[in-house]
Amino acid sequence: MIRPVLLNDAEAIANIYNEYVVNTDISFETAPVSVENMRARIAELSTEFPYFVYVTEKGEVEGFCYAHRWKERAAYQFVVETTVYCSVKRTGKGIGTALMKHLIDACRLSGYNALIACITGDNTPSINFHAKLGFEKVSHFKKVGVKFGRFLDVVDYELLLV
């Protein structure tokens, strides 16, 4: 089941996200995010942008997605960046696809005209995932991030909603 995020989901979301922060270069954060910090992020983002969680029949949060401001200038008000993460033990089960389709529909209904996915350049699974959803590559920035002592590229994929 997909539902809007609740502040009570902060611990589960932090646990899912921190697996990627600590063990991969998928996220460019370099230190785990506390539950309190995640709760503050949820409170800030969910009041203005679509934010959803995937919950199992047992009530466990197994994935989350949200949109957030892509750039600060007013001219970009109809463009948002998307984020989606699934529990590492639940990847490949269709949760991410269900979440993103839900988020895309919510963004369309909210009047956004374009979605941007910012992806680590060698994250082939995420690149393929977004391409299957209709996102197209629009940029490639070389060596713009550093994690685990390695320079990383970033690619942007865009989905036009109008």
**pLDDT band with cut points at 50, 70 and 90 for residue 93:** confident
Residue in this structure with the two tokens 């370099």, named with its chain if needed: 30
* Region 17-28 average pLDDT: 95
Calculated CA dihedral for residues 40, 44, 47, 53, nearest 10 degrees: -60
Measured CA to CA, the distance from residue 62 to residue 65 in angstroms comes to 11
Residues whose CB is less than 8 angstroms from the CB of residue 119 and which lie 6 or more positions away in sequence, other chains included:
126, 127, 130, 154, 155, 156, 157
pLDDT digits (tens, 9 = 90+) for 38-48: 999 999 999 99
Q: What's this model's pTM, rounded to 2 decimal places?
A: 0.94
Measured CA to CA, the distance from residue 51 to residue 5 in angstroms comes to 6
